[in-house]
């Protein structure tokens, strides 16, 4: 921008010196007018630069404030999550949904063990093949459902109940001659 102004001044001075169609009085007036224009332009440029600096400072300050606010919000969210986890961990009651899922799983595994005892002792396993297929399908569904439980997210009471159910199921499978990995 300054280069443009300097070029404009030089051009104006050159035209005024050559007298491009004007008299010497016009030359003096043009020279004074040009100098006044240069001074005005420099003042305007300085004002603009000062305003730009103020705007930059304001923008930087706003950006810093936004960043600080975001950091504070993140910290608050982290604290809330920790409180939630600690509250859940400290709970003395078993979550009703978890209890229902584990009870359903244990009930099915009882049924599965009984079926497998009958199947293993049967002399006519071919007639039981349809039931066997259905039982294996349900077994897969139930174990997938139980495997989705995140043990690290369980409260103390939930984990205790979960462990007891899994131990009982493992014992029943062992009595049947099966394992949980089938």
Mean pLDDT value across residues 131-135:
92
Residue-averaged pLDDT of the chain: 76
Mean pLDDT value across residues 103-131:
90
Model pLDDT, residue 75: 76
Mean pLDDT value across residues 166-173:
92
| Band of residue 168 on the pLDDT scale cut at 50, 70, 90 | very high
**In Å, what is the CA distance from 160 to each residue of 98, 109, 166, 167?**
12, 19, 10, 11
Secondary structure element (H or E) that encloses residue 164, with its range:
helix 156-176
Q: Where are the alpha helices (DSSP H) in 1-151?
A: 2-18, 24-90, 96-121, 129-147
Helix axes 2-18, 24-90, angle to 10 degrees: 170
pLDDT higher than 50, residue 182: no
pTM here is 0.50
């Amino acid at each position: 921008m300054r280069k443009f102004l300097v070029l404009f001044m030089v051009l104006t001075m050159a035209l005024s010196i050559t007298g491009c169609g004007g008299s010497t009085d016009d030359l003096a007036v043009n020279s004074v007018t040009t100098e006044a224009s240069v001074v005005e332009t420099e003042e305007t440029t300085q004002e603009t630069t000062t305003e730009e600096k103020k705007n930059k400072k304001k923008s930087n300050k706003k950006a810093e404030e936004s960043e600080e606010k975001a950091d504070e919000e993140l910290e608050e969210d982290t604290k809330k999550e920790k409180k939630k986890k600690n509250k859940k961990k400290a709970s003395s009651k078993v979550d009703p949904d978890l209890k229902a899922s584990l009870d359903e799983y244990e009930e099915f595994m009882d049924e599965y063990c009984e079926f497998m005892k009958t199947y293993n002792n049967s002399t006519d396993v071919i007639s039981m093949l349809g039931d066997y297929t259905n039982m294996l399908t349900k077994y897969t569904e139930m174990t997938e459902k139980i495997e989705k439980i995140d043990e690290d997210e369980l409260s103390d009471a939930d984990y205790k109940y979960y462990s007891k159910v899994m131990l009982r199921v493992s014992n029943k499978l062992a009595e049947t001659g099966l394992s949980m990995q089938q």
